[in-house]
Chain A
Amino acid sequence: MESYPTVKSILLLDSEGKRVAVKYYTDDWPTLSAKLALEKSVFTKTQKTNARNEVEIVMFDGYIVVYKFIQDLHFFVVGGDDENGLILAAVLQGFFDAVGLLLRNNVDKKTALENLDLILSCLDEIVDGGIILETEGSVIAGKVATNGLDSTISQALATAREHLARSLLK
């Protein structure tokens, strides 16, 4: 086991398995074709499952993949097969929630591509070189949208924070 939890890759694919945004943090897939092969097998192996409510998980080729779908977007986080799957799931959920906040719940491929700058910044704030930076969706979104935000995102963030605070107080 790694001495600290390590994320090997985060993938955001569309409903045909094409890239929307991807990030690779290790040398497990050194070439573009190796990366595309991973994306293809991740996509086909999960395609027929229902991952719209709960985070789902699959293990193959020595990797653990946690995933969640919404509309025509497929979110994946890949880790080594010895990694704590719940930590990977926390990363996935953080990414998922942050994207939801940043896209104001219009989470689909079109909106994601139109706001690709936000998506890429979001990925940048979640994991740095395989090390988890942050897993709380509202904090990630807050870091991405520090400035130049229109009121609706700030509003959404405030609601999310309040919601979080309340859930912690329970």
Chain B
Amino acid sequence: MAEPLVKKDDDRDDEGYSPFLGIEKGAVLQEARVFNDPQLDARRCSQVITKLLYLLNQGETFTKVEATEVFFATTKLFQSKDTGLRRMVYLMIKELSPSSDEVIMVTSSLMKDINSKNDMYRANAIRVLCRIIDGTLLAQTERYLTQAIVDKNPGVASAALVSGIHLLQTNPGIVKRWTKEVQEAVQSRAALVQFHALALNHQMQQNNRLAVNKLVTSLTKGSLRSPLAQCLLIRYTSQVIRESSMNTQTGERPFFDFLEACLRHKAEMVILEAARAITELSGVTSQELTPAIMVLQLFLSSSKPVLRFAAVRTINKVAMTHPLAVTNCNIDMESLISDQNRSIATLAITTLLKTGNESSVDRLMKQITNFMSDIADEFKIVVVEAIRSLCLKFPLKYRSLMNFLSNILREEGGFQYKKAIVDSIVILIRDIPEAKESGLFHLCEFIEDCEFTYLSTQILHFLGNEGPKTSDPGKYIRYIYNRVILENATVRASAVSTLVKFGAWIDSLKPRIFVLLRRCLYDSDDEVRDRATLYLNMLGGDGLVGETNQDVREVLFGSLDVPLVNLETSLRNHEASEEFFDISTVPKEVKSQPHAEKKAPGKKPTGLGAPATGPASAVDAYQKLLLSIPKFAGFGKLFKSSEPVELTEPETEYAVNVVKHIYDGHVVFQYNCTNTIPEQLLENVTVFVDASEAEEFSEVASQPRRTLPYDLPGQSFVAFEKPEGVPAVGKFSNLLKFIVKEVDLATWEADEGVEDEYQLEDLEVVAADYMLKVGVSNFKNAWDNIGADCERVDEYGLGVRESLAEAVSAVINILGMQACEGTDVVPSNARSHTCLLSGVFIGNVKVLARISFGIDGPKQVAMKLAVRSEDQSISDTIHEIVANG
């Protein structure tokens, strides 16, 4: 390199030394002027190019002007005969990706190199040229490229073939003319040439099934030279098998012999490729799986981590669909739990958790306990999640699994890990009633020594809701009060709230709770004191008559029915002196936040994060809101309120979404409108609904919004009558009508206003709107209890679907039912899947559905739907929904 630079740190001596220390773009660009010297110093030029490449590699970028300058200077270097320098020139040109008018500058030099005698020049020049070339130039150089494909030098041939694969994307017309040469190259004696030729050949023909079939048929008979080419052939063979499976439903699977023979290949990569191909065959039989699993089992005990990983990963996937086929590997798997490589160990454990039966759970837990202490948190979380699903699968084993969770809860770990454990315990408490007492007890023990304020407060909240309903609530008091003595202010405040919940629920505990609360009146933190004072008053602990029990419980256990953001806005706008703040004036709708919500579709919060009474409380809030409108009061009990459906694009002038409220004989649309223009005030906001495409509905009432100031959501309602108890469907078009007034932002005065309207998107009422998502904890029991009296079973073809998972989620969405036991998740590569759904249909009829899906080669999905309910007509209706969906 140019000159040794002064070392900045003498102590570190050689360690910190880099030939590029202190390198600076401007200076190197200056240095690049040597490219223009009449007498080229090849060595010096090489060094400068290396520096430029170093800068680019470190993430430095050149401006357009700089890049052009460097490019032109670099083209001068073709004059030099130095091969080392020429190689650097090739690299530099590729990095600069010149524009088409610049490319012309080097085309002739590169063509000269392509026709030179030096094979290194030829191979590299082909790759450089093809990287920067456009269609017209390609047509001109085509002749040389086709010659290169069949060149006797493997490097040159490979360069042309690989370039062909890239060019096929941009200039398919030209490359497809090279078929003859490419097919000749497939027969090459050079291993890599064969590989590249095969890849290009397949890319050229991939939409021509017959040609691919022919290629596979001829090649599977011979033997390819390179393992890489063999891997390609295996991939193509799987493709042919996938596509032909519908033609030969019966009898031998074509080419299976070839795949099986590849399991005995000498190269491990080929064996793995073949084993994976076999395990991923659609509708693979256990007989077909056996030889593949056998070779994978051998890999499990290999000394190479890469092999062990590949094997355990493939087996893990098989375990999802064919757990019995891989049980033979369980012993090898168990030894992998202690594998140095944690990816391997984690895959081994999760496989075992999938294949394990009820009797092996205890032994497995013992082994995992040893394993847990020395893996990273992210892997521990995977294990905790696997254990949670195992526990839901074998509820009888909750004791040992709960013990395991409480043990690891006591050990060291970061927040995410602890949260995963706590979430799991909460879910177990919710889904397995027997686990409740021990689960709550473990959580109590945990908060005795919990360093995470968030977890402590969440657990205290959960304890307050669940604890009073247990057989001996008194025993939790000590744990909770200890928090008041020992923790920070946030946790103390939560503990106070939790104590009160026990007091409100259980009269016998009241006097003791009062004693504790009075002590809290002397707390150093005002929030804690405030809470204690408030609650003492409410419960009548200060000797006065407290509120009635009902009101107290409402405050303590009911959820706030207005969004906090809206409450905050309203409080800010409220002028304290004039009148009391009335919470009923606070808007109840959540401002539409499509971006934030859509980020994690389907990822509903579970465990502590999710409010335990989530859906119910939303319905309660809506129910209250609707009851406050006299026009709608006679509609009876609200059956279901849908999720808000956006009727406008994000960031338009007016943001509108709609909530569909379903009653037995009515439907109410609640249009939540937000005006996003500061200079406007909207008045008399109504929605004009055209129900001509919804024959069974007739409009009966509407409730306009009187005013809609900037950024404060308001709602307008329209009610329809529909036949009682019937899941009527239809399409509604919506037009927002209002009077718009211009507001002077300085004086807040509005002008007269003009009438205006705004087209909204259409809205549909679908069958799923009449279905409440209500889960059951034990589907099998519920299924058996409801009995087969009103069962109806039918089969449906769903046609071509992108994937099984897509088909499953589409059906769940059409029905609007709750997936039970995690059956909405379809393992990737699964060829069949059973989905368990439950829900309550309009008229409060419980409905259960068991759906078996199957997918065959060309993505044809079929399903068998079994519906059980208490009413035959409802079972039939569900089938109609599916048949019409």
Contact = CB atoms under 8 A, between A and B. Distances in A.
Contacts of A116: 19-20, 50, 53-54
B238 to A, nearest CB: 9
A50 B235 CA distance: 33
Interface in B521-564: none
B90 to A, nearest CB: 8
Given A4-B232, A54-B303, A55-B306, A84 B273 contact: yes
Interface stretch (B81-89, B639-647, B768-776): B81-89
B203 interface: yes
Contacts of B20: 113, 116
Interface stretch (A95-103, A141-149, A157-165): A141-149
A87 B206 contact: no
Contacts of A129: 131, 162, 165-166
B162 A133 contact: yes
Contact of B84 (A109, A143, A147): A147
A85 B296 CA distance: 14
Contacts of A150: none
A5 B50 contact: no
B832 interface: no
Interface string B211-248: 00000000000000000100110011001000000000
Given A56-B305, A90-B269, A133-B158, A117 B50 contact: yes
Nearest to B59: A32
A131 B84 contact: no
A54 B341 CA distance: 11
A78 interface: no
B103 interface: no
A132 B309 contact: no
Contacts of A86: 268-269, 272, 306-307, 310
Interface residues of A, number: 46
Interface string A45-58: 00001100011111
B192 A117 contact: no
Given A49-B341, A86-B272, A3 B206 contact: yes
B450 to A, nearest CB: 27
B46 A87 contact: no
A89 B236 CA distance: 22
A121 B91 contact: yes
Interface string A61-95: 00000100000000000000000111101100000
Contacts of B309: 57, 59, 85
Contacts of B163: 128
Nearest to A148: B84
A21 to B, nearest CB: 6
Contacts of B159: 128
A141 to B, nearest CB: 13
A156 interface: no
A148 B199 contact: no
B648 to A, nearest CB: 31
A35 B120 contact: no
Contacts of A27: none
Interface centre among B202, B228, B306 (most CB of A within 10 A): B306
Interface residues of B, number: 63
B231 A134 contact: no
A131 B198 CA distance: 13
A120 interface: yes
- Describe B's contact surface by its main secondary structure: helix
A84 B343 contact: no
A35 B166 CA distance: 23
A126 B120 CA distance: 14
Contacts of A66: 306
Given A114-B1, A129-B166, A147 B276 contact: no
Contacts of B727: none
Nearest to A32: B59
B340 interface: yes
B58 interface: yes
A22 interface: yes
A147 B94 CA distance: 21
Given A85-B309, A117-B50, A143-B120, A19 B57 contact: yes
Contacts of A22: 57
A9 B20 CA distance: 23
B83 A147 contact: yes
A131 B196 contact: yes
Contacts of B165: 4, 129, 131
A40 interface: no
Contacts of B87: 117, 121, 144
B166 A49 contact: no
Interface string B234-278: 011001000000000000000000000000000011001100100
A3 B207 CA distance: 12
B17 interface: yes
A124 interface: yes
Contacts of B340: 49-50
Contacts of A84: 231, 269, 272-273, 276, 310
B252 to A, nearest CB: 24
B304 interface: yes
Given A57-B309, A86-B310, A146-B83, A110 B14 contact: yes
A89 B267 CA distance: 13
B158 A85 contact: no
A111 to B, nearest CB: 10
B53 to A, nearest CB: 6
B19 A35 contact: no
Given A133-B192, A143-B120, A148-B83, A56 B310 contact: no
B162 A131 contact: yes
Interface string B85-108: 001101100100000000000000
A169 interface: no
Interface in A6-55: 19, 21-22, 32, 35-36, 49-50, 54-55
A131 B82 CA distance: 28
Given A3-B202, A148-B83, A124 B91 contact: yes
B305 A113 contact: no
B155 interface: yes
Interface string B491-512: 0000000000000000000000
Interface string B178-219: 000000000000001001100100110010000000000000
Nearest to B267: A86
Nearest to B309: A57
A1 B50 CA distance: 36
A1 B269 CA distance: 15
B162 A128 contact: yes
Nearest to A55: B306
A1 B155 CA distance: 27
Which of A57, A109, A146: most chain B CB closer than 10 A? Answer: A57
A59 B343 contact: yes
A34 to B, nearest CB: 11
B127 interface: yes
A135 interface: yes
A55 B304 contact: yes
B18 interface: yes
A109 B21 CA distance: 13
A3 B339 CA distance: 32
Nearest to B198: A4
Contacts of B231: 5, 84, 87
A22 B95 CA distance: 13
B588 to A, nearest CB: 40
Contacts of B58: 19
A86 B271 CA distance: 10
A85 B131 CA distance: 28
Given A4-B235, A59-B313, 8 more contacts: A3-B235, A4-B165, A4-B199, A49-B340, A56-B341, A121-B88, A124-B94, A133-B162
15 contacts: A3-B199, A4-B202, A4-B235, A19-B58, A59-B309, A66-B306, A84-B276, A84-B310, A113-B18, A117-B49, A117-B53, A128-B166, A129-B162, A131-B162, A148-B84
Q: Closest 5 CB pairs between A and B?
A: A86-B269, A147-B83, A4-B199, A89-B306, A146-B120
